[in-house]
Every structure is written in structure tokens, then in C-alpha cells.
Structure 1
Amino acid sequence: MSDIFIGMIMGFVEGMAEFLPISSTGHLILTGHLLGFEGVRATTFEVFIQFGAILAIAVLYWKRLLSLFNIQPLLRKEKKFNALHVLLGILPALIVGLVFYKQIKSLFQPEVVVVGLVAGAILMIFAEKKRPEPISTNLDELTYKQAITIGLFQCLAVCPGFSRAGSTISGGLLSKANYKTASEFSFLIAIPLMAGATSLDLVKNWGNLSSADIPLFAAGFITSFIVAIIAVFTFLKVLGKIGLTPFAYYRIVLAVLFSIFVLL
């Protein structure tokens, strides 16, 4: 199979799964195993194509991102989404990631992914069943307390397979945000965290690549970017109608498939 075709398949998986509550890590590992695309080169590629997904969110929410540089609403204590919300949303995971970086990397094992898929599914079902009446129906109504709560839930995603989107959206629902607000906040706080973590991993592994890898990486990046835009737009349209439970059941099915094709 050609590098470009592998890149497009893996890019499609990354773009589709990164911002949905289904674990992009689990999907990439399973897909890479089925394609025979594994090892240091594959790991570096999987890190790189995350930039395509990050760019998709930056394009979709560029106005919101630019507004974060305006500190006037923050200084005036206006009830408006601002940079402090984002900071509170990323701070817990940032601290955990920096303090336990080596330990977290050691968790990237197939068995841990299976546990994360199932545990994340249970959390999503719980959040769906126990979610209170929302008090925040858009980002400008999100409180600082809700932002830090969602940030704390994001720490669960250090476990591979748990899903960053699944944990943050669940945390948003339980902290009284509606589906759309929880999802959009999840997308926005992903940008600095993913960009930082991805850059760090990429710098450490860049020496393992050569110019011959450019077609593979380009195909994966472009496909990831395009698919992520479509996936996010579609996800926001359907989430309020179907909720998190179908995604949770899908994760359990994926855990079974993962066990069969990767662990056995």
C-alpha cells in the first residue's frame, strides 16, 4: 500500500475521531495495526497529523480565538467568554502533563487503551443520565467555575483511550453546560494543549524522519484538516439530538474489536 494512501486513511481517522468522544488514540492504534503501519515512524506521523485537526478548529473558531486577545471584557468583569476561561480549562491538564509526562507516556499500551475506552464510555453514560438542567447555553454564559471543572475532567484523558473530548464534554454536562457549549469549549481548550503536547513530541522524534516521508505526512495532514472540519460541524448538529450514549456504546464495541485485533 502506498504511503499517500496510508496517510489519507490515517488522516481520515484522526480528523474524524479527534474531536468526537470516541478516542482518536484508540482508533489510530487499531487502524495502524490493521494496516501494518507501526513503529517510530508511524508514531511520529500520528503526532504530526494532529496539527491538521488543530488547524481545523482554528479555522472554524477564528473569531472566538481573536476575541481572546481582547482583555477589556476581562478587566471590566463583563459576562463574556475570555482568555481566563481558556486558561482555567487547560491549567489542570497542563500541570498533570508536565509533572507526570514520563508516566503518562508509559501508559500508551494497548491494554490501557481498552480500559480507557470502557471507563470513558461509563463516564459518558453517567453524565448523560445525571446531567442537571443547564445554566449555560452558549460560551458567553460559561462561568469560571464551570471552566475549571471541565479542566479537571480533562485530566482523565491522560489515560489513552479515555478521550479528551469525551471527558471534557461529560464534565461540561455535569457542570450545567448544554451540549453545544460543552463541546465548543472542549474544542477551544484543545488548541493550546494539543499544540503544546504535539510540538514537544514532534521535536523529540523529528530526527527519525527523512524527505521521503513528506508525501505521507502531507497526505495525512491535509486529510485530517478537511475531515476534522466536516466532523466537528456534523457533530454539533447531531449531538443535541442523540446525546452521548450512542458514542459510549460505540466505544465499548471498539474496545471489543481492539481486544480481538490488537491484544489477541
Structure 2
Amino acid sequence: MFDLWVAFIIGLVEGLTEFLPVSSTGHMILTGHLIHFTGDTAETFEIVIQFAAILAVVVLYWKRVLRLFGIQLGERAPANGPRMNLIHVAIAIVPAMGLAYVLRHFIKDVLFSLETVLIGLVLGGIFMIIAEKQQPPVTAQTMDDLTYRQAFFIGIAQILSLWPGFSRSGSTIAGGMLAGATRAAAADFTFLIAIPIMTAACGYEILQNIDKFSRDSLLFFAVGFVTSFVVALLAVATFIKLVGKLKLTYFAYYRFALAAIILVYMLTVGM
């Protein structure tokens, strides 16, 4: 039942896609259908490997996290002008977290399907193209330049990611750009606010599904966890270096291609 190759494949897909603007949910649902890995075990496994991906971001952003609590290590924050703090983070995560809690049953029971993911991929891609084409004058070059209003706008944009396929990082990076942040500043802030919002979501889901963990599945979960952590670490580190050069438009085209693949799969298999 617990095929280690399945654990590796799902962990690889999660690590690669969780923090890129391509929708990890869309990839996970499609991959699960293709390799016939669905059901309660699959849902619990996905929660575990998502937590591994979060830890990868913590490793990369630990100095910035400490700075939020007044612990300064390494480079200094700007002496003058705006400085990002816990209020920015709270403003950005509360809208989506609150709505996710209220609509959690509807989202899980109704929206997690190939059809809804297909719609989310297309609409999310269009939103990202709009952000690239209609970006206003930049007022936030770095994450530390973000104002409370911009943080709130990013938080509102993050609500779109509650629809599977939209992509949390895609929604927030695009939202940040439309609020006047550079692509790099929006991406940095996106990765940082992923830590509390995804930790809370994964923690809640793990507590709700604690009875589904078993001794027999320990190695299976461990392989997926390690794979997701390592791959997410490499994916985020690479994306951070390239984000200034990679327009969201490229990811939008990829999303359209993935949506076409899902559509062909649905028509062929009859899902």
C-alpha cells in the first residue's frame, strides 16, 4: 500500500510547486489521479509534505523571521523609512485565514476537483498577466518598503488562492505588483507570510487527521517529507535568484498548458 516511489513522486511535485506561481494544488490533484493515489491516506500525506515545504522557507528566511521579533542578525534593516513588522504580516494573513476557516468544509467538499482546478489555473494565469501588463509605478523596491495598505492589498489578493488552482504565491505576487511593489519585493513577502498561514493550516489539518497516522506508514511519510523539504528548499532558493528576471507571464502560459492537459485528461478518461 505504501509504495515509496509514490511518496517520492508526490513529495517531488509538492516541493517543486508549493511556492511557485503554478498551483501546487492543481499539480497534486492531477498527479494523484494519474498515479491513482487518492483518498484519506493521500490527503493526510499531502498535509505532511506541505509542512515540510514550510520548513524549507523557514530555513531560508529565518533571519527575517527573527527580525520581526526585534532580533537583529546579519544585515541591518533600513534606518529610515518604512520597516516591515508583525502588523504587516497580520494584515496580510488575517483576511484569507478567516475566510478559509469559515469556508473550510465548502472548499474541501466542493472545490477540490479537476474541473475547479482547471478554472483556477486559467483565471489565475489571466490575473498574473494583468499584473505584469497593468503594474502601477513602483513604490516598494524591497519587502521593507511595503506600506500597511500594500500589505492589506496583498492579503485581499491572497483570498483568491482559496479557490484551488489559483495559487497562493501567484495571487499574492500579482497582488503585490498591482499594489506598487516590485516582483522581487512581492515574492519575498509572499514567502514570508506563507510561514504563519501555512503552519496554521497544516497544524489544524494534522490535528483533525491525527488518527490516520500509523506505524506502518512511517517510512512512507518520511520519504515524502524529506523529498518535499529538499526540493522546496532548492526551488525557492532558485526562484528568489531569478524572480527579477522571470515575468509572471511565463508562469501564466505554463498554467494554460497545464489546464489544457487537465482538460484532455478529463475528456479522455471521463472524469
Mark yes or no: TM-score above 0.5: yes
Contact 2:124–2:166 (8 Å) recurs in 1: yes
Taking the aligned partners of 1:121 and 1:127, their CA distance within structure 2 comes to: 10
- Say if 2:124 is the partner of 1:120: yes
Q: Which residue of 2 aligns with 1:206?
A: 210
- The 5 A counterparts of 1:227-238 are 227-238=231-242
Q: Which residue of 2 aligns with 1:92?
A: 95
- The 5 A counterparts of 1:1-264 are 3-70=3-70, 79-106=82-109, 107-262=111-266, 264=270
Taking the aligned partners of 1:176 and 1:255, their CA distance within structure 2 comes to: 29
Instruction: For 1:89, give the aligned amino acid.
Output: A
Tell me the TM-score normalized by structure 1.
0.94
Taking the aligned partners of 2:266 and 2:208, their CA distance within structure 1 comes to: 26
Taking the aligned partners of 2:137 and 2:122, their CA distance within structure 1 comes to: 26
Taking the aligned partners of 1:225 and 1:219, their CA distance within structure 2 comes to: 10
Tell me the TM-score normalized by structure 2.
0.92
Contact 1:56–1:225 (8 Å) recurs in 2: yes
TM-superposed CA distance for 1:262, in Å, is 4.5
Q: Which residue of 1 aligns with 2:77?
A: none
Any unmatched runs of 5+ in structure 1?
none
Question: Could you say if the C-alpha distance between residues 235 and 71 of structure 1 is closer, same or farther in structure 2, counting changes exceeding 3 Å?
Answer: closer
1:94-113 CA deviation, whole Å, 9 max, x = no partner?
A: 12112222222221122111
Instruction: For 2:84, give the aligned amino acid.
Output: F
The 3-state SS of whatever aligns with 1:21 is: coil
- Percent identical pairs in the alignment equals 50
Contact 1:3–1:215 (8 Å) recurs in 2: no
Question: Could you say if the C-alpha distance between residues 183 and 141 of structure 1 is closer, same or farther in structure 2, counting changes exceeding 3 Å?
Answer: same
TM-superposed CA distance for 1:135, in Å, is 1.1
- After TM superposition, the runs of 4+ consecutive aligned structure 1 residues lying more than 3 A away are none
Instruction: For 1:254, give the aligned amino acid.
Output: L
Taking the aligned partners of 1:204 and 1:195, their CA distance within structure 2 comes to: 14
1:155-193 CA deviation, whole Å, 9 max, x = no partner?
A: 001100110011000000000100111001111111111
Any unmatched runs of 5+ in structure 2?
73-79
Question: Could you say if the C-alpha distance between residues 71 and 145 of structure 1 is closer, same or farther in structure 2, counting changes exceeding 3 Å?
Answer: farther
TM-superposed CA distance for 1:132, in Å, is 1.7
The 3-state SS of whatever aligns with 1:176 is: coil
